[in-house]
Structure 1
Amino acid sequence: MSSSSSSDEFHSAEEEIAPASASSTPARDTGKEEVDLPSAQAAVTATAGTAAAGTADGGKGPGSMYDAQALQKTVAQQTVFSRMVVFTADAILAASYTVSNDEAPYLASVFDDRTASVRDGYDIDGMHFDVHRFYDNLVYGRFGYDEASVAFGVVRFPREAYADFIYVAVTFDSPMTTARGLPLLHRFVSQSILPLLGM
């Protein structure tokens, strides 16, 4: 595959996840497919804010206000990832598939213990994934091999005002690689999800 073809595909995927009303300048495409999310996430600082109807913890304790309908619409309308769920350790905030609040603690637990996560793997929507990499704010892996594989990624962003995290877990199918999918995930969450949560 030529570098111009790869660049065109990257721009195509980037356009798919950009919100329709985005007025920000698009990120510069350097042509690199390196995953540098741990250092990028270290620069993320969370601030509590308010929006309209909803609490970021589903009404269970302290949480910033957010527009639950706008968040759900954003998650449902994205087309790059086959599954997406936005959650805290206590509650599911939005999802593109059916998932109960009871699953939130399990979904967040992937960051609790590196050894256990790599050994036991991770389940999303009934699919069991091998965990390939574990960082402070990023865990990812894959199910299957080659053309029939499905990858997952989970990122977390600190909410310092509440001493907890916002998590976003996604799955994506081949031919998208983790080198392409994870930067798209980070960009989508930073540009489209966190602002809706007042972060």
Structure 2
Amino acid sequence: MLTNTLPVKHIRITSAEAKMLEAKCSNRLKWSDSGQWMGRGTKPNCFITDTLHNRVSHTYSFPTDGSAMKWNDMHEKGIRYTGHMATVGLSVALGLISGGYVAVGAGAIAAIVKDEVQAGIPYPRMARGWSFEVVFEHTFKWSPHPWGQKVFIQKITLISRDHHGTVVSQSESEKHYQLTELPDGVARMIASSPSRSTTSLFE
């Protein structure tokens, strides 16, 4: 049993360091029943926490009737995306972080919209001069303690604005993942990246 005899503190730690600390804190052979460290070296602090948060967004502008019609037709003709819908948000966030809009493309972001439509949210139709913003907010929580939080939360917000900049519609969804559900290091990489906001014309 691990008992907290060291102060709880927030840290920044690499994925490799985190895995090493987790291994030490979860190895019951290295701890006595009273919580005394019996392994080699200094007793690890298993009560530290690492919490990360960022915000990544991309806004499409629709300068012409043709660009707005093209967006609207994407829904009417059917949006197709190869992959599991549960991971589309993660893939798009990774693309925006690593390479910006060019690395993502409209199809992937539209797939997120389709996911929302299937959940009962009306499809955000555009008109000339309007804009559509997709916002990703990420929260990463980790502790090496066997009972500590190891979770990644992705909140996706979709916002439509008219030519005056007035919000016409807005929807939000939130997905929670245990870190063990995701590829090693992906959640930490996403949440530790700098917040950024990009824009492009939808053509």
Instruction: Calculate the TM-score normalised by the size of structure 2.
Output: 0.30
Higher helix share: 1
State the structure with bigger RCO (CA 8 A, min sep 6), 1 or 2. 2
When Rg is computed on C-alpha atoms for both structures, the one with the higher figure is 2
